[in-house]
């Protein structure tokens, strides 16, 4: 995982750099992740070593780019020796030695009592200046509108993927032209396959299925710098195809079919297994 640059957030969303750094620190400390500079697998270290070599070497990670063990994008592209501004980042692995994902989420709320409201569709956020005071939802059972008030000093956490900007764009009082731009449901997966050197095959374990490293580069798209990230997967090809196959479900089905998949889980199972066979 990686955070957006605090400088970019300040210039495009608002508030100052210290504000965004403070939010990152609050969140990252809750993750309580280990130091990625001392917990990398042997093969991840090998990838990092190779990234620092070659005709266009990647700039290797530095401690001052991290807040609470998690990096932020360095977007001062003009200071890099090459126009691609190639960079390399490490992050705390989410996989154990058996290739099981064990650290995928964390609560960012200090829970006292938890009230779940299911079968609700969030329709609108009511703002008072820069603060959200109410959340309007549609009850899927009664087909009626309900309103939940946010107590003073409370927070609303939007964790809706590409639906977060949809809500923000329909919220009156928020005027930010950047909302809704460059939205992706998930990473794109152009697939490059490289044969691992024989001398390194012995050190590849379950935790290497998704390497806790990635590279980035800046691509000029008509005067605008777009940041591209490179993920690394290591292991037996059959196992890796099984690992990434479900990600293609983000792209292939139409939205109407995705909704049906949520209502009828057997459709998800059928499609995901079909991708794995293909």
Residue 267 pLDDT: 80
Residue spans of beta strands (DSSP E) within the chain: 66-67, 70-71, 87-90, 120-128, 131-139, 145-149, 213-220, 225-231
Consecutive 10-residue runs of the chain (278 residues): their mean pLDDT? 86 86 88 86 89 84 88 81 84 80 66 81 85 90 92 82 76 69 56 77 85 84 77 79 68 71 76 72
**3 state DSSP class of 95:** strand
pLDDT at 197: 81
pLDDT (0 to 100) of residue 83:
78
- HEC string of 218-246? EEECCCCEEEEEEECCCCCHHHHHHHHHH
- Give the pLDDT confidence score for residue 220 in this predicted structure: 78
Point out which residues pair with 59 in neighbouring strands.
87
> How many C-beta neighbours within 10 Å does residue 261 have?
18
State pTM to two decimals: 0.68
């Amino acid at each position: 995982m990686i955070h957006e640059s605090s400088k970019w957030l300040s210039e495009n969303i608002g508030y100052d750099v210290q504000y965004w750094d403070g939010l990152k620190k609050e969140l990252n400390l809750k993750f309580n992740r280990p130091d990625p500079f001392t917990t990398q697998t042997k093969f991840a270290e090998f990838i990092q070593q190779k990234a620092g070599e070659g005709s266009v070497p990647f700039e290797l990670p530095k401690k001052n780019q991290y807040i609470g063990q998690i990096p932020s994008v360095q977007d001062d592209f003009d200071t890099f020796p090459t126009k691609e501004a190639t960079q390399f980042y490490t992050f705390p692995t989410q996989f154990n030695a058996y290739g099981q994902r064990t650290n995928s989420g964390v609560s960012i709320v200090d829970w006292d009592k938890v009230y779940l409201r299911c079968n609700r569709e969030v329709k609108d956020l009511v703002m008072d200046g820069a603060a959200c005071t109410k959340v309007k939802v549609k009850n899927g059972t009664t087909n009626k509108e309900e309103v939940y008030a946010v107590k003073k000093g409370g927070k609303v956490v939007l964790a809706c993927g590409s639906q977060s900007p949809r809500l923000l764009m329909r919220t009156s009082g928020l005027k930010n032209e950047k909302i809704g731009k460059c939205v992706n449901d998930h990473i794109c997966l152009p697939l490059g396959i490289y044969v691992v050197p024989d001398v390194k095959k012995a050190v590849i374990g379950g935790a290497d299925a998704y390497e806790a490293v990635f590279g980035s580069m800046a691509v000029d798209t008509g005067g605008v710098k777009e940041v591209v990230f490179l993920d690394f997967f290591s292991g037996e090809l059959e196992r890796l195809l099984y690992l990434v196959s479900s990600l293609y479900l983000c792209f292939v089905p139409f939205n109407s079919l995705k909704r049906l998949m949520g209502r009828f889980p057997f459709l998800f199972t059928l499609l995901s297994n079909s991708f794995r066979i293909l």
